[in-house]
Chains A and B, each alone.
Chain A
Amino acid sequence: MAEAGTSSQTRFSIKRQPGFTTIAIVCFLMLYAPIITLVTYSFNAGTSVAIWEGFSWRWYEAAWQNEQVQDAAARSLIVAAFAALIATTAATMAALATTRTKPYRGLTTVYALINQPLMVPEIVTAVALLIFFAVIKVNTGYQGLGYLILAHTAFCIPFAYLPIRARLEGMDLSLESAAADLYATPWLTFRRVTLPLLLPGILAGAMLAFVISLDDVVITEFVKTPGQDTLPTYMLGQLRRVVTPEVNAISTVLLTISVVLVSVFFFLNRRKR
């Protein structure tokens, strides 16, 4: 290593630093080895998550037929779908209000307020919601999924907001001027020009919100009424009792859904003009 840093080296390059490759490999291993292990053991024929006994689909079948899993999965999808829908709608309106108006006093504060869920520790939000909803539950007696949907919507908004705002900011403003010039009212300009051009951003935002809602544990665990397990909280509950590769199987399915949706998100965002 005595040769390192000789005069032939004109510019600093992190790649040439000693140990770079090793550190990179360790990091990737740390990231992916556990996931690869998890996925591998979801196909284990035995009941252990650590001893390989041959390939089998049995845990996928078990999970598929497990009524609790079905129940939790359905709930997860319902909550995620509603949360993504409402959050994306709100985020679209927020993005329009922060990019298509004249700059006004407090605009920066508005940005901060919209993105608040990214800054406040999740556990704080969870506790706050728990107490807040408890008051409502006591007063109204309502026990339904509304609380979960509302809570998920709240923390999904910034994730939906960011790609939509980015897309709006990248859009050529003269297109909207041109529509107005060609007799389109503000509403028609929005519907015929802004919205179609914004659609990839909206889809990306919705997908991101969906994925974020789908794998939330902390807030769900605090807000849910007993018996209202989503897939992640069901899995957490399972792990406290017996650990079988069934959890691996469910995880693998969730992983697949997330990877697919996030890939679509990147694909949509990359194709912006």
Chain B
Amino acid sequence: MSEGKASPSAVEAETVTKIFGSGETQVTALNEVSVAIRQNEFFTLLGPSGCGKTTLLRLIAGFDHPTGGTILLEGQDISYLPPYKRPVNTVFQNYALFPHMTVGENIGFGLEMLGQGKAERDRAVGEMLQLVRMDELKDRKTDQISGGQQQRVALARALAPHPKVLLLDEPLSALDLKLRKEMQIELKRLQHETGITFIFVTHDQEEALTMSDRIAVMNAGRILQIGSPREIYDHPAERFVANFIGETNFLEAEVVSTKNGSARLRLPSGKMVAAALAEGARTEGKVSIVVRPEHAGLTSAKAKAALTGRLENVVYFGTDTHYHLRLEGGGEPFIVRQQNSRDTEEKLEPGSEVGIEIGKNAVQVLRD
């Protein structure tokens, strides 16, 4: 995947490995991770806890140093630079606001350390407070403001020195749902207005899908897939990615022929379907495929059905209905999700035999 761009990546990790401890207690937190994060990008590191996403963030911030590999900031090797020499700022999970300083002093701290004078600093702090819409709270102590406000102060503090890259370590996890939704929109707005590259760490797939320009899905110290939210969702490359993001149906199929990253497959039912091939997927023999529940439909016309099964359960969700089916050949239940409309729909009873229609471009062949 060549970028073909003249300007260097904002941050680039080259085969970065991080090992904690030694001997029997040794833990490999990152295993030869490579990723290039573009300028002005909202980039998300997504994965379950312990996948290495926070470790990678800490290596970029400079709180830890890699065991192997290099980290480049705009083309310059910063692997072993201490955090105070990197033009990179962090929004901490617990905000880490200085309790002995006012809101204004917190926001001005970075600029003060950079040697900026008081008058200039005050102006910058004012601008930042306006940017995060907190103008009136400049002289409050940090324990006199709410959690959401603390979050905004932490953001303003990290943005005030105009870093090249802003690192966000699960910054929304301590907020309640409503505030979290608000802050998601707020973060996108801030990223647009400041034009700063954001690297965002989260374990929340929905958060990642709604906010990111690109997502790197991580597990067990490796990056499994990098792509836009759409690519990650519609074309998961691995079982873990498909499973971690959204609901999905796994099936086995046999490759009949391939051409330019797409393939013709024979389903267990004997029917043929077209499918997209993940990079590095097998091009012959048996393969694993995924079909998203909303990319499949129910049909009574046997000719159109790619698969057939017996309806086991119907779950009504308001906006849509989930149909749980048992396929002819057995295996895990197959789920079909259909959007509801006001028109009366054909009433399907559990136990009835139905055909499953699979939409165009709905099948993805996995790498594993």
Chain A residues within CB distance 8 Å of chain B: 172, 174-175, 177-186, 188-189, 192-193, 196-197, 273
A181 and B113 in contact, given A175-B96, A196-B100 (Cβ under 8 angstroms): no
Chain B residues within CB distance 8 Å of chain A: 61-63, 82-85, 88-90, 92, 94, 96-100, 109-110, 113-114, 157-158, 161
Provide the residues of chain B in CB contact with A180, threshold 8 Å: 62-63, 82-84
A183 and B161 in contact, given A174-B94, A177-B92 (Cβ under 8 angstroms): yes
> Once the chains bind, are B84 and A183 in contact (CB under 8 Å)?
yes
Q: A180-B84, A184-B113 are in contact. List 7 more A-B contacts (CB 8 A).
A: A178-B96, A180-B82, A181-B83, A181-B158, A182-B109, A189-B84, A197-B100
How many A-B residue contacts, CB cutoff 8 Å? 63
Partner of B84, one of A175, A185, A196, A197: A185
| Bound CA span A193–B98, Å | 7
A172 and B114 in contact, given A177-B63, A180-B82 (Cβ under 8 angstroms): no
A45 to chain B, nearest CB (A): 52
| Bound CA span A193–B99, Å | 9
| Bound CA span A175–B157, Å | 13
Partner of A197, one of B61, B62, B88, B99: B99
Provide the residues of chain B in CB contact with A183, threshold 8 Å: 84-85, 110, 113-114, 161
> Once the chains bind, are A175 and B113 in contact (CB under 8 Å)?
no
Which residue of chain B has its CB nearest to the CB of A172?
Answer: B96
A179 and B92 in contact, given A196-B100, A197-B99, A273-B99 (Cβ under 8 angstroms): no
Provide the residues of chain B in CB contact with A184, threshold 8 Å: 84, 109, 113
Residues of A contacting B: mostly: helix
B192 to chain A, nearest CB (A): 23
Provide the residues of chain A in CB contact with B82, threshold 8 Å: 180
Which residue of chain A has its CB nearest to the CB of B88?
Answer: A181
> Once the chains bind, are B83 and A177 in contact (CB under 8 Å)?
yes
Partner of A181, one of B89, B97, B114: B89
Provide the residues of chain B in CB contact with A193, threshold 8 Å: 98
Partner of B94, one of A172, A185, A188: A172
A178 and B84 in contact, given A183-B114, A183-B161, A188-B113 (Cβ under 8 angstroms): no
> Once the chains bind, are A174 and B113 in contact (CB under 8 Å)?
no
B166 to chain A, nearest CB (A): 11
B273 to chain A, nearest CB (A): 51
A178 and B90 in contact, given A185-B84, A193-B98, A197-B99 (Cβ under 8 angstroms): yes
Which residue of chain A has its CB nearest to the CB of B114?
Answer: A183
29 chain-A/chain-B pairs, Cβ below 8 angstroms: A172-B96, A174-B92, A174-B94, A175-B99, A177-B63, A177-B96, A178-B96, A178-B97, A178-B98, A179-B109, A179-B113, A180-B62, A180-B84, A181-B61, A181-B63, A181-B83, A181-B84, A181-B88, A181-B89, A181-B158, A182-B161, A183-B110, A183-B161, A184-B84, A184-B109, A184-B113, A189-B84, A197-B99, A197-B100
| Bound CA span A177–B96, Å | 9
Provide the residues of chain A in CB contact with B161, threshold 8 Å: 182-183
Partner of B90, one of A175, A181, A192: A181
Provide the residues of chain A in CB contact with B61, threshold 8 Å: 181
Provide the residues of chain A in CB contact with B92, threshold 8 Å: 174, 177-178
B31 to chain A, nearest CB (A): 23
Provide the residues of chain A in CB contact with B62, threshold 8 Å: 180-181
Which residue of chain A has its CB nearest to the CB of B94?
Answer: A174
Provide the residues of chain B in CB contact with A197, threshold 8 Å: 99-100
Provide the residues of chain A in CB contact with B100, threshold 8 Å: 196-197
Give me the 9 closest cross-chain CB pairs, A-B, nearest first: A182-B110, A183-B113, A178-B96, A174-B96, A180-B83, A184-B113, A181-B90, A183-B84, A196-B100
> Once the chains bind, are B99 and A182 in contact (CB under 8 Å)?
no
B82 to chain A, nearest CB (A): 7
Provide the residues of chain B in CB contact with A175, threshold 8 Å: 96, 98-99
| Bound CA span A192–B83, Å | 17
Provide the residues of chain B in CB contact with A174, threshold 8 Å: 92, 94, 96
Provide the residues of chain B in CB contact with A189, threshold 8 Å: 84
A168 to chain B, nearest CB (A): 15
| Bound CA span A143–B90, Å | 58
Which residue of chain B has its CB nearest to the CB of A174?
Answer: B96
> Once the chains bind, are A182 and B89 in contact (CB under 8 Å)?
yes
B112 to chain A, nearest CB (A): 9
| Bound CA span A183–B114, Å | 6
Partner of A182, one of B63, B94, B113: B113
Which residue of chain B has its CB nearest to the CB of A182?
Answer: B110
Which residue of chain B has its CB nearest to the CB of A177?
Answer: B63
| Bound CA span A181–B158, Å | 9
